[in-house]
């Protein structure tokens, strides 16, 4: 229980349904759906669509999505991979011939075909009770009639003004007199509203065929992209079998590669052998071990993880106890190890949301443009911001994650699900780019090893080793900084907090739900 004399949030409790998102309008939209009789999937897609409008730096219909879904709260967990692919005309050799050895984050080559709308349609068609038309109405209203800018959204928008200004279409739609909107200002996105109306009327084909796809392809080709209309028309997500590991009596589920969920599982496998519960949760020993486990797991991710449709990824080996022991053996209790730096650009943006309904259907849902405002490129007529997920490819013909036609890149966004005795205990996720698997492991060990309540576990200060430095949030004092430095870590304070997150716990004994929302973002958890 938190100290009620200090600023903070209480864990939210309810009997019926609950939603937790990083934006209050998104949470409200989800609750509205639930109270009208919709299920968790209906509410999740509706909420996500709203966030594509009201939190445009973090997500959009020009991005990708993943989901984990547990009907009735388990025991079955269903996985959805709706990540987009590279156009069929894009190869590593094509880029190398142009002198490009890594994909620039604002280039058309970084704009993989968006999978989000296809994913929304798939999960609604299979598990929802409403269609895209109904799910998109709140988002259409906000895009057409406007919404008030929230504080964290305003900060992130301002930090990316230069990126938006570099593209005339983006500047026209996402800047006002060359500046970002301020908290409390009303913002409208009329072109995006019209695109959403088209999708509402025509379904997924309203995005992947017709004038919207034509606008996107024409725009990207004009910038040197290799995209073609059939790259969009033939785009499809897939249902996947989640991967899992057991941790202290819980089973943790993740989407299999091309996502990095396996990284979180490897971290938990490494940490399994340490008596974390006997440590200070905000102490040097625990944070050091978590950091070193993450560095070992990231090295394995960068070596092996790729699109399994086009690469052989040794998933069974990576999740084995033998592999965990091998990685664990390299960790030193008294000093930082030398390990390769995780590859890929540093960023903190995405949206994650979770919904559990009265029937205990649990939906863990994530949607992203990759970096803030994706490529920074907005198709002129449709108003669709285009993701830069293609920057996650390696421009090396011999690497498993090499860029190739119709291939999905290494993906960082990961929804989480945690079951105990065949029932969902936690439906959760932590945003923040590369930080996400670290955040998953940190959150779960807070809950399981340190018996924190959901909001306490979410609030807990974070560390993240990135670009040769261990970022230590200000919630951890100078003594912790000094202790980590004494072990050989190069430490510093991050300019912005790491990640965000949402969590819903199902209390089967009492028949209630408990929810948490990360104060690092603007959102909230609401139950009824």
The whole-angstrom separation of Cα 60 and Cα 350 is 9
User: Choosing from 27, 106, 251, 350, which is the catalytic residue?
Assistant: 350
How many angstroms separate the Cα of 154 from the Cα of each of 186, 330, 394?
Answer: 11, 43, 33
Half-sphere exposure of 74 (CA within 13 A, CB side): 18
Of 350, 370, 336, 349, which Cα lies nearest the Cα of 469? Answer: 336
Which string of b and e fits 302-323 if b means at least 16 CB within 10 Å? Answer: bebbbbbebbebebeebbeeeb
Identify the bridge partners of residue 259 per DSSP, sorted by sequence position: 411
Element (H, E) at 139: helix 132-145
Task: Look at residue 148 and give its three-state secondary structure.
Answer: strand
DSSP 282: T
The whole-angstrom separation of Cα 142 and Cα 186 is 10
Query: What torsion do the CA atoms of 97, 340, 59, 225 make, to the nearest 10 degrees?
Result: 0
Of 4, 43, 97, which Cα lies nearest the Cα of 427? Answer: 43
Query: What torsion do the CA atoms of 269, 238, 105, 26 make, to the nearest 10 degrees?
Result: -90
Q: What are phi and psi of 365, to 5 degrees?
A: -135, 135
Q: Decide if 350 is catalytic.
A: yes
Of 326, 377, 54, 221, which Cα lies nearest the Cα of 391? Answer: 377
Instruction: Output the 3-class SS for 482-522.
Output: HHHHHCCCCEECCCCCCCCCEEEEEECCCCEEEEEECCCCC
Q: Counting every residue, how long is the chain?
A: 528
Residue 451: CB atoms within 10 A of its CB come to 11
Cβ distance 351 to 366 under 8 Å?
A: yes
> Which residues form the catalytic set?
350
């Amino acid at each position: 229980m938190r100290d009620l004399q200090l600023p903070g949030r209480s864990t939210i409790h309810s009997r019926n349904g609950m939603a937790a998102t990083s934006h209050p309008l998104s949470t409200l939209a989800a609750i509205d759906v639930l109270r009208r009789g919709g299920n968790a999937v209906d509410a999740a897609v509706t909420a996500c669509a709203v966030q594509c409008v009201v939190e445009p730096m973090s997500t959009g219909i020009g991005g990708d999505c993943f989901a984990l879904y547990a009907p009735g709260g388990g025991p079955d967990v269903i996985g959805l991979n709706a990540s987009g692919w590279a156009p069929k005309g894009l190869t590593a050799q094509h880029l190398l011939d142009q002198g490009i050895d890594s994909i620039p984050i604002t280039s058309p080559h970084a704009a993989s075909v968006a999978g989000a709308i296809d994913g929304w349609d798939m999960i609604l068609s299979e598990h929802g009770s409403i269609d895209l038309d109904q799910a998109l109405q709140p988002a259409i209203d906000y895009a057409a009639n406007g919404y008030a800018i929230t504080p964290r959204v305003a900060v992130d928008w301002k930090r990316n003004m230069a990126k938006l200004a570099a593209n005339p279409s983006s500047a026209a739609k996402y800047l006002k007199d060359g500046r970002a909107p301020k908290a409390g200002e009303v913002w409208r996105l009329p072109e995006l509203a019209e695109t959403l109306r088209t999708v509402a009327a025509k379904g997924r084909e309203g995005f992947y065929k017709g004038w919207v796809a034509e606008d996107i392809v024409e725009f990207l080709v004009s910038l040197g992209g290799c995209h073609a209309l059939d790259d969009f028309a033939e785009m499809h997500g897939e249902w996947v079998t989640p991967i899992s590991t057991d941790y202290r009596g819980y089973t943790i589920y993740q989407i299999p590669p091309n996502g990095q969920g396996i990284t979180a599982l490897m971290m938990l496998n490494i940490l399994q052998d340490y008596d974390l519960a006997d440590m200070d949760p905000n102490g040097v020993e625990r944070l050091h071990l978590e950091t070193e486990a993450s560095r070992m797991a990231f090295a394995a991710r960068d070596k092996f993880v790729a699109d399994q449709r086009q690469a052989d990824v040794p998933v069974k080996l990576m999740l084995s106890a033998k592999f965990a022991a091998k990685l664990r053996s390299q960790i030193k209790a008294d000093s930082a190890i030398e390990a390769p730096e995780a590859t890929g650009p540093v960023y903190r943006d995405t949206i994650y949301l979770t919904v559990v309904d009265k029937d205990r259907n649990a939906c863990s849902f994530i949607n992203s443009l990759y970096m803030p405002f994706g490529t920074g490129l907005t198709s002129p007529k449709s108003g669709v911001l285009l993701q830069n997920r293609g920057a996650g490819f390696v421009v090396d013909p011999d690497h498993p994650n090499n860029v190739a036609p119709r291939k999905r890149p290494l993906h960082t966004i990961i929804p989480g699900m945690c079951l105990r005795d065949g029932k969902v205990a936690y439906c959760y996720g932590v945003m923040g780019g590369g930080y996400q698997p670290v955040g998953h492991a940190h959150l779960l060990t807070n809950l399981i090893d340190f018996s924190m309540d959901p909001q306490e576990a979410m609030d807990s200060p974070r560390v993240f080793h990135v670009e040769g430095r261990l970022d230590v949030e200000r919630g951890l004092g100078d003594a912790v900084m000094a202790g980590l430095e004494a072990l050989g870590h190069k430490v510093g304070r991050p300019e912005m907090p790491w990640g965000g997150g949402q969590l819903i716990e199902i209390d089967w004994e009492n028949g209630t739900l408990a929810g948490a929302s990360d104060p690092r973002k603007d959102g909230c958890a609401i139950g009824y």
